[in-house]
Every structure is written in C-alpha cells, then in structure tokens.
Amino acid sequence: MKDFFLDKFEYTHHCNQLLIDVLFKNPETYRDRISLLASHSLNAHHVWNHRLFGIAATFSVWQILEIGVLPTINNENFEHTKLFLQKKNLAEPVNYTNSKGESFTNTAGDILFHLINHSTYHRGQLVSQLKVEGVEPIVTDYIFYKR
C-alpha cells in the first residue's frame, strides 16, 4: 500500500510542478483566485504533513504564497510525505486539530488519500481558471502521467 501512495504522490508532485511551470510562464495570472488556489493546495499539503508528524505548521491553509516559493514548497511537501511513508504505519491513528480548533482522529492512510484527492480537485480548478485567463490548459490526468 505504501508503494501505491508513493506513486500517487509522485504524480501529485509532477502535476503540481507542471502547473507551477505554467504560472512562471504566465506570472500576470498569479493573482486573485489563481494565487489563492495554488497557495491553498500547497499549504494544505504542508499542514497535513505537519499534522502527520505531530508538529506545528509554518503556513496556514489560506495564506497566499509568493510565486517564487511555489517550487520549493512543492518539493518540500513531496519529500516530507515520502519520509512519512518510509517511517510510519498507514493504519496508525493520527490525532489532530483542524483550522477551526476541532479535534479529530483519522488513520494516516485516510489522511494521505484525502491529500491526493484535495490536490487533484484544486488542480482542476486551477486549470479551469487559467483557461479563463487565456492560458492553454495542461493535461494532468493520471493515465496521461502513466503513459
């Protein structure tokens, strides 16, 4: 199962980088909803990684990031998730507090699966927003990645 998650996080990292490359080529689009969604997607991954390790996050989930730090955050997120996969048990319960201060417990595997879905959801929104801005859409479907 860890191999399954590693593959899906490699895909997530790759697609995030494709979007970051598009943003770097079209920096005028990095505003409003696009900067919010790009930042949120990476910030949420950062926050969940920190919850998995039981440490305080550096970023908040809706904090706007400068465009120049996006590749670094994407790489750090991927490396931290890989480290978690190497060291921890997917069935392990993880106790955490959400951004509203509510306490929950979920398995590490459920959290990781949520992270993959969350990233995919917001990448779709970003591609749609970029299309509205006149940027040619990129393909981020999993099957294209595997080809």
Give all domains of the chain, ordered by start, each with its CATH number: 2-100+108-146 (1.20.120.450)
8 touches 81 (CB < 8 A): no
The predicted model scores a pTM of 0.95
pLDDT (tens digit per residue) in 94-136: 999 998 999 999 999 999 999 999 999 999 999 999 999 999 9
User: In the prediction, which pLDDT does 94 show?
Assistant: 96
pLDDT (tens digit per residue) in 12-52: 999 999 999 999 999 999 999 999 999 999 999 999 999 99
Distance CA(64)–CA(40), nearest Å, equals 7
User: In the prediction, which pLDDT does 68 show?
Assistant: 98
